[in-house]
Amino acid sequence: MKNTMVKQKQNKSSLNLLEALNKWGTIVAIVAIIIFFTFMLPDLFLTSSNVVNIFRSISIVTIIAIGLTVSLSVNGFDLSIGSSATLSSSLIISFFIWFNMPLGIALPLAILITLSVAAVNAFLIVKVKIPDLFATLSTMFIFEGVAMTYTGGGSISQGMPRLDGSPTVGTLPKMFTYLGQTPWIIIIMVLVVALVHIFLNHTKHGRYMYMIGGNPEAARLSGIPVKRYRTLAYIISTTFAALGGIILASYIGSAQINAGSGYLMPAVAAAFIGSSFAGKGKPNAIGTFFGAVLVGVLENGLVMMSVPYYSLNIVKGLVLALALASTYYNQKKF
Amino acid sequence: MKLEMEKIFIEFPGVKALKGVDFAMKSGSIHALIGANGAGKSTLMKVLSGAYDHYEGEILLDGKAVEIRNPKQAKMLGIDIVFQEVDTALIPYLTVGENIMLDSLANDMGGKHFVNWKQTHKRAKEVLEELHINLPTRRLVSRLTLAEKQMVLIARSLVQKPKFLILDEPTAPLSTAETKELFRVIRNLCSMHGVGIIFISHRLPELFEICEDITVMKDGEFVSCRPIKSTSIKEVVDDMLGGNMVDDYVKKKSVIGEEVLSIRNLTDKEGTLDNASFSVKSGEIVGIAGLVGAGKTELCKTIFGDNTIDSGEIMVNGKLVKPSSPYHAVKEGFALVPEERRKEGVLVEEPVFSNLSAPSLHNFTSLGFLNTKKEKVAAVKMIKDLGIKTPSENQKVALLSGGNQQKVAVGKWLQSNAHVYMFDEPTKGVDVGAKSEIFQLIEGLAERGKAIMYASSEIVEILAITDRVYIMYDNRIVKEVVTSETNEEEIMYYSTGGE
């Protein structure tokens, strides 16, 4: 015992630097990337219009990633967020174009129906006891298919006839189109981050979720209803994914096939980068936001440097690998 | 062949586990090894099977010194062990045959790349037949019962033609019929194959049934070695206890009130608790004595809603309750300090203050928001009251010592309004100073009129802290005694199956 303590002390100074880097690595990386692009793209990158552009572009990723963060907080993993976003975007556009519903009904209804994803997830994970990753992998496919079946395998936009050829008369309400535009899209993102930050850190429910994530057995034996909170985590996760999908629909003004699936990977990257933020060592809302900033800044700069869109995934994938490495590298296993 | 271990010493950080132990036996015989918890019998057998490389002393085979520093060397010399946790040594999604032949598949393949499955299963079948075990070699191990898994492991050892086979508490999880079958196989191994069996068990009656000699250990030392025919359960119990273990903790006089907890014929679905009936009064500390694996943990966990109740009644303050989960149990006024502290009792990655408030977090919220300040103020007070040694309330629990972690695990329940407190081995891995502080904590709870259950395999502790004791053996409560009228020998006698 004593020996290891001495060793720990000796390692401390070298550890401090490593720890600091791990703690503030996200910020350091963001600053470094900004400096890099500012030099490479003078007059273009660090302009107010581009900064707003970056924030706008990360809004949807952030909102979806925040939901994922909550599922991660109970040591779960929600791979179905992309499909949830697709489903809710298809639903809400169809409500307007096909059924001419008012916003006040269409929006809550789209979220409510999308919550069926959470219901299936919770059933498979909490009741059937399938590991989170596999359960949500299957629901990811199921609801991708559900969304596509619902839209008849095509997109929905204003003026386009329905599947059976009947003409559509619905239009997108003005209020709805605002959601995907600045400043509203950014305001919504900030609200979502703040809300979940408060939820996770300043309510007993958030505390319970972290406890369950840290040690489900100890949490259970402390009298915390673990199953209930795991279900709640997936409900929250799907809710934010649905919200992200709705904003996405507003932003592009139509429902596209698999529109949400592209958001899964950057959301996972953002949440994992965020876990190490400020040395928290656990999923947290503020960290996820900065994780999304990092991914967004990188993507924006690379696009401006005319890196082709089809090569961007290489970089984004590498960032994800790096983020995962920082989470898992220090674990003592095997 | 003769096996001798001479003056075996081994030390772990902070503990001298073996202090010059001697052990000797012949192949072709069955030798019992027994001692109270922590006597060092498992450690000694781990040394013999090559689990450690830092022991001192000599191991002799037929008078010739041999080197055993890793499991492979032990196996080469014909010494093998079947651990109690059979699942750790088996691969569940492979067949019985593959598992039996695992060692030869791993080591005897040489340059070959293709496995001759027919030959493998044929050889496995032969081994099973030699032991008269009826088990299809192509069945998946995951579908076997615990007893069958043990048979697979014994068969695996036999493939390597062992001279000595160590069985570490093989009968603990078995039913009577399964134990009988195991004994048949063991006798067969011994007489037909000339294997020397070292048999570790806490159940004295069965040792007297099957073994020829018995070695008793205590506190890492050799006590006695006798032929089983010339000794008795009582004599062995005396050897195990040595009559010199005293806890100098002085218990305060209890003020005992009304009956708080009453349990009638409680049986669990998992089959680990059989028809338990007992009661605890307000202010009373009731001991649940018994050896490791006797069912003490299961008793606590069934009451706490963690194991599923099959039949029986639980009454708290005269009201019938049926806790279906720990969440409900806490609502009904139960608190459990579990045995596996780091796994079940505390959240090691969380700071002290949030551990202390975990079961009573609703006391620290206003309008749904956590009042972290109030939480920390309460934590600071509790750290002082309980004497938890920590730099601050923000310290991660993982960085505290075992005793202080345990104080956190106890402390977190003090703010809840529980009526019944259950302690499962609360002094495990705790130093002497912290131990008496934990005792004081428990007494403090009793003084406040709580009903206390104290489950421990340490008889000395049971005698020091409790008012009344229920003794468990083989998942049943077999005896009730009043602490002031009993002694270690009596408790050990009933704990080891004496009647």
Which residues, in sequence order, are bridge partners of residue B493?
none
Query: What confidence score (pLDDT) does residue B278 get?
Result: 94
Residue with tokens 């203050």: B353
- Torsion angle in degrees (nearest 10) through CA of B395, B401, B407, B409: 70
Contact by Cβ (8 Å): A216, A39: no
Closest Cα in chain B, distance from residue A215 (Å)? 6
Closest in B348, B350, B370 to A202, CB measured: B370
d(CA A124, CA A66): 22
Q: Which amino acid is at B363?
A: N
Strand ranges inside A50-151, DSSP E: none
Six-digit token string for B31:
């030798």
Residues B343, A211: C-beta atoms closer than 8 Å:
no
Confidence of residue A5 (pLDDT cuts 50, 70, 90): very low
Question: Residues 6 or more apart from B68 whose CB is under 8 A from it?
Answer: B47, B48, B49, B50, B59, B74, B77, B79
d(CA B302, CA B326): 10
Q: Does B333 touch chain A (CB under 8 A)?
A: no
The domain defined by B2-241 folds into Rossmann fold (3.40.50)
Mean of pLDDT values over A250-276: 91
> Under the phi-then-psi rule, with left for phi > 0, alpha for psi from -120 to 50, and beta for the rest, what region is B150?
alpha
A46-80 confidence digits (pLDDT tens): 899 999 999 999 999 999 999 999 999 999 999 99
Distances (CA, A) of B62 to A137, B5, B67, B163: 61, 11, 14, 12
d(CA B384, CA B403): 15
Rank A119-128, A162-171, B392-401, B428-437 by mean pLDDT and report only the highest. A119-128
Query: What confidence score (pLDDT) does residue A19 get?
Result: 67
Residues A202, B361: C-beta atoms closer than 8 Å:
no
> Per-residue pLDDT for A290 more than 80?
yes
Query: What confidence score (pLDDT) does residue A4 get?
Result: 43
Of the candidates A251, A224, A222, A215, the one whose C-alpha atom is nearest the C-alpha of residue A75 is A215
Which residues, in sequence order, are bridge partners of residue B473?
B476
Query: What confidence score (pLDDT) does residue A13 get?
Result: 55
Residues A221, B349: C-beta atoms closer than 8 Å:
no
d(CA B100, CA B112): 19
Which residues, in sequence order, are bridge partners of residue B369?
A203, B366
> Per-residue pLDDT for A157 more than 50?
yes
Q: Does B63 touch chain A (CB under 8 A)?
A: no
What does the H/E/C string look like for chain B? CEEEEEEEEEEECCEEEEEEEEEEEECCCEEEEECCCCCCHHHHHHHHCCCCCCCEEEEEECCEEECCCCHHHHHHCCEEEECCCHHHHCCCCCEHHHHHCHHHHHHCCCCCCCCCHHHHHHHHHHHHHHCCCCCCCCCEHHHCCHHHHHHHHHHHHHHCCCCEEEEECCCCCCCHHHHHHHHHHHHHHHHHHCCEEEEECCCHHHHHHHCCEEEEEECCEEEEEEEHHHCCHHHHHHHHHCCCCCCCCCCCCCCCCCEEEEEEEEEECCCCCCCEEEEEECCCEEEEECCCCCCHHHHHHHHCCCCCEEEEEEEECCEEECCCCHHHHHHCCEEEECCCHHHHHCCCCCEHHHHHHHHHHHHHEECCEECHHHHHHHHHHHHHHHCCCCCCCCCEHHHCCHHHHHHHHHHCCCCCCCCEEEEECCCCCCCHHHHHHHHHHHHHHHHCCCEEEEEECCHHHHHHHCCEEEEEECCEEEEEEEHHHCCHHHHHHHHCCCC
Query: What confidence score (pLDDT) does residue B408 get?
Result: 92
Residue with tokens 């992200």: A244
d(CA B360, CA A207): 12
Closest Cα in chain B, distance from residue A193 (Å)? 17
In order along its 499 residues, chain B shows pLDDT tens digits of 899 999 999 988 777 889 999 999 999 999 999 987 778 888 899 999 998 988 999 999 999 999 999 888 998 899 999 988 888 889 999 999 999 998 888 877 777 888 888 888 999 999 999 888 889 999 999 988 888 999 999 999 888 889 999 998 888 778 778 888 899 999 999 998 899 999 998 888 889 999 999 999 988 899 999 999 999 888 888 888 875 555 667 777 788 899 999 999 999 988 889 999 999 999 999 999 998 888 899 999 999 999 999 999 999 999 999 999 999 999 999 999 998 888 888 998 889 999 999 988 888 988 888 898 999 999 999 999 888 888 889 999 988 888 888 899 999 998 888 999 999 998 877 777 778 888 988 999 999 999 999 999 888 889 999 999 999 998 999 999 999 999 888 998 999 888 7
Question: Residues 6 or more apart from A13 whose CB is under 8 A from it?
Answer: none
Rounded to 10°, the helix A132-151/A103-122 angle is: 140
Closest Cα in chain A, distance from residue B344 (Å)? 4
Query: What confidence score (pLDDT) does residue B17 get?
Result: 86
Q: What DSSP designation does A277 have?
A: G
Q: Does B110 touch chain A (CB under 8 A)?
A: no
Q: Is A306 helix (H, G, I), strand (E, B) or coil?
A: coil
Query: What confidence score (pLDDT) does residue B61 get?
Result: 92
Confidence of residue A8 (pLDDT cuts 50, 70, 90): very low
Confidence of residue A107 (pLDDT cuts 50, 70, 90): very high
Q: Does B114 touch chain A (CB under 8 A)?
A: no
Which residues, in sequence order, are bridge partners of residue B250?
none
Question: Residues 6 or more apart from A317 whose CB is under 8 A from it?
Answer: A265
Which residue of chain B comes nearest to A208, CA vs CA? Answer: B358
Closest in B330, B331, B349 to A214, CB measured: B349
Rounded to 10°, the helix B233-241/B488-495 angle is: 120
> Under the phi-then-psi rule, with left for phi > 0, alpha for psi from -120 to 50, and beta for the rest, what region is B132?
left
Q: Does B358 touch chain A (CB under 8 A)?
A: yes
d(CA B479, CA B470): 6
CATH number of the domain located at residue range(s) A48-328 in this protein: 1.10.3470
Instruction: Say how many residues make up chain A.
Output: 334
d(CA B33, CA B201): 7
Per CATH, B2-241 and B259-495 having the same topology is answered: yes
Of the candidates B153, B2, B10, the one whose C-alpha atom is nearest the C-alpha of residue B81 is B153
Six-digit token string for B132:
């008269």
* Lowest mean pLDDT, pick from A26-30, A65-69, A178-182: A26-30
Q: Does B343 touch chain A (CB under 8 A)?
A: yes
Domain range list for chain A: 48-328
Residues A223, B359: C-beta atoms closer than 8 Å:
yes
Of the candidates B469, B459, B385, B446, the one whose C-alpha atom is nearest the C-alpha of residue B253 is B446
Contact by Cβ (8 Å): A87, A147: yes
What's the sign of the alpha-carbon dihedral A174, A180, A186, A190?
A: positive
How many Cα atoms occupy the beta-carbon half-sphere of B423 within 13 Å? 35
Report the mean per-residue pLDDT for chain A. Answer: 89
Residues of B in contact with A1 (CB under 8 A): 13-14
Residues A218, B326: C-beta atoms closer than 8 Å:
no
Predicted-complex ipTM score? 0.76
Distances (CA, A) of B17 to B46, B146, B188, B218, B239: 12, 30, 34, 10, 18
Closest in A2, A210, A223 to B327, CB measured: A223
Q: Does B306 touch chain A (CB under 8 A)?
A: yes
How do strand B64-66 and strand B56-61 relate by DSSP bridges?
antiparallel
B259-495: which CATH number, 2.40.110.10, 3.40.50.300, 1.25.40.80, 3.40.50.2300? 3.40.50.300
**∠ Cα B114 B120 B121 (to 5°):** 135
Query: What confidence score (pLDDT) does residue A52 get?
Result: 93
Question: Residues 6 or more apart from A6 whose CB is under 8 A from it?
Answer: none
Distance of CA A130 to the CA centre of its chain: 22
Residues of A with CB under 8 A from a CB of B: 1-3, 198, 201-204, 206-208, 210-211, 214-215, 217-225, 281
Q: Does B327 touch chain A (CB under 8 A)?
A: yes
Closest Cα in chain A, distance from residue B333 (Å)? 11
d(CA B241, CA B325): 39
How many Cα atoms occupy the beta-carbon half-sphere of B456 within 13 Å? 23
Which residue of chain B comes nearest to A3, CA vs CA? Answer: B13
Residues of B in contact with A203 (CB under 8 A): 365, 368-370
Neighbours of B35 (CB within 10 A): 23
Residues B306, A202: C-beta atoms closer than 8 Å:
no
Residues A223, B13: C-beta atoms closer than 8 Å:
no
Which residues, in sequence order, are bridge partners of residue A218?
none
d(CA A92, CA B492): 72
**Edge-to-edge order in the sheet of strand B64-66:** B15-26, B2-12, B56-61, B64-66
Q: Which amino acid is at B291?
A: L
Contact by Cβ (8 Å): B341, B330: no
Distance of CA B373 to the CA centre of its chain: 41
